[in-house]
Copies of this chain bind each other. A is one copy, B any other.
Amino acid sequence: MLSGLVLSLTLTYPATIVPRNGSSRRIANGGRRKEILVLDAAAATLPRKSGSVDRLVRLAETDMAGVNRLITERMQSDVPIIPALAEHLIAAGGKRLRPLLTVAAARLAGSDNDHCLKLAAAVEFIHTATLLHDDVVDGSALRRGKVAAHLIWGGAQSVLVGDFLFARAFELMVETNSMKALEILARASRVIAEGEVMQLMRSHDLNLSQALYLEIIQAKTAELFAAASEAGAVSAGVDVAKTDALKAYGLQLGLAFQLVDDALDYGGATETLGKNAGDDFREGKATLPLLLAIARSGPREAEFWERAVGRREQTEADFRRARELIIGTGALDATLDLATDYADKAKAALAIFPADEWREALEDLADFAVSRRA
């Protein structure tokens, strides 16, 4: 499944990705062979439209109130620690982007029933379960600006409450009686787990190919965006072409989102630092801005990268130097260009729908994915 999607990425890579010198090396990966993509500085930075999630939030207000009621209702359990732990994370908010996508896709596709609300709540539960497990796996201290749940209740409880939410998600899906939606979200859940394992094994590998980086962010992030949209479309009973269009929108949006997340860790487009900036660098995490900067740095910097990222022997000044190199080599702009390209593709996928307020709100969301500063 993964290979098919990676292939399509390879075939449709954006204008900013060009094979260097027209040459291509080949690597073995899980028994398959893939092109290594090499990003070079684009001739010019792509224009980025400023977007907003506000219009979508307003349009989906009633639906999302229903989704939030379902979330609160279905995270209850006779075992009191379960809702307490789940609530800690869920009430901390986050943008609820994934359930928003499900609702918006369903409404854009003409749904006039409320099945999408249950699917949206299921999507948020799957996402919450993966966050709980992620934070245990990474030993993260913070999540959504609060102390991570595993530091309060313990890793064991976080793992088990994640399992609870995952199972609850499937109970909710069963209630919608849509086997297709179950298929989509079961598959996405499996691909996310594969992506997390890949990330765990390769995230500190500075020789990570850019193709594999894209494969990882697709699996761990974009697949759930795609599944969230597709499940919404399915709940509306719309035709295959429109369902595929909404799935493609979600996938490209998810890729754009993750790329921008990775760019924001180095200050993003604004070149002003958010409060969590530098986390990826301190962890030596192989994200695209870093991989590109390393590839574009001269031999003089090789030793710096090897020490500060490879061996993670860092001084106070290292993050600033890394950031200068990431900006100076054009790595940050190239990352954001790639994100912009994906966001544009996401918007283009919506052309099959009439230009109503839902479509415009989703277009706005795609622009927001790239223009946001946090």
Chain A residues engaging chain B, CB cutoff 8 angstroms: 2-3, 30-32, 77-82, 129-130, 133, 136-138, 155-157, 159-164, 166-168, 170-171, 173-174, 177, 179, 182-183, 186-187, 189-190, 192-194, 196-198, 200-201
Contacts and interface: CB of A to CB of B under 8 A. Distances in A.
Contact of A78 (B32, B160, B187): B32
B79 A164 contact: no
Contact of A164 (B32, B77, B190): B190
Contact of A194 (B31, B164, B170): B164
A45 to B, nearest CB: 35
A183 B190 contact: no
B81 A164 contact: no
Q: Which 8 A-B pairs have the closest CB atoms?
A: A167-B190, A167-B189, A170-B186, A164-B193, A137-B156, A163-B193, A30-B78, A174-B183
A28 to B, nearest CB: 11
A167 B179 contact: no
Contact of A160 (B80, B161, B166, B197): B197
B80 A30 contact: yes
B174 A182 contact: yes
A34 to B, nearest CB: 11
B136 A78 contact: no
Contact of A197 (B79, B174, B194): B79
A330 to B, nearest CB: 32
30 contacts: A3-B78, A32-B78, A77-B194, A79-B194, A79-B197, A129-B163, A133-B160, A133-B163, A136-B159, A137-B156, A138-B156, A156-B200, A157-B200, A160-B193, A160-B196, A163-B166, A163-B189, A163-B196, A164-B190, A164-B193, A164-B197, A167-B189, A170-B170, A170-B189, A171-B183, A171-B190, A173-B186, A174-B182, A174-B186, A179-B179
Contacts of A171: 183, 186-187, 190
A201 B129 CA distance: 20
Nearest to A130: B163
Contacts of A170: 170, 182, 186, 189
Given A167-B186, A170-B182, 20 more contacts: A2-B78, A30-B78, A30-B80, A31-B78, A32-B78, A130-B163, A133-B160, A160-B193, A160-B196, A160-B200, A161-B193, A163-B189, A164-B194, A167-B187, A167-B190, A170-B170, A171-B186, A171-B190, A174-B186, A177-B179
A197 to B, nearest CB: 5
A192 B77 CA distance: 12
Nearest to A194: B79
A168 B177 CA distance: 19
A3 B77 CA distance: 11
A24 to B, nearest CB: 21
Contacts of A187: 167, 171
Contacts of A196: 160, 163
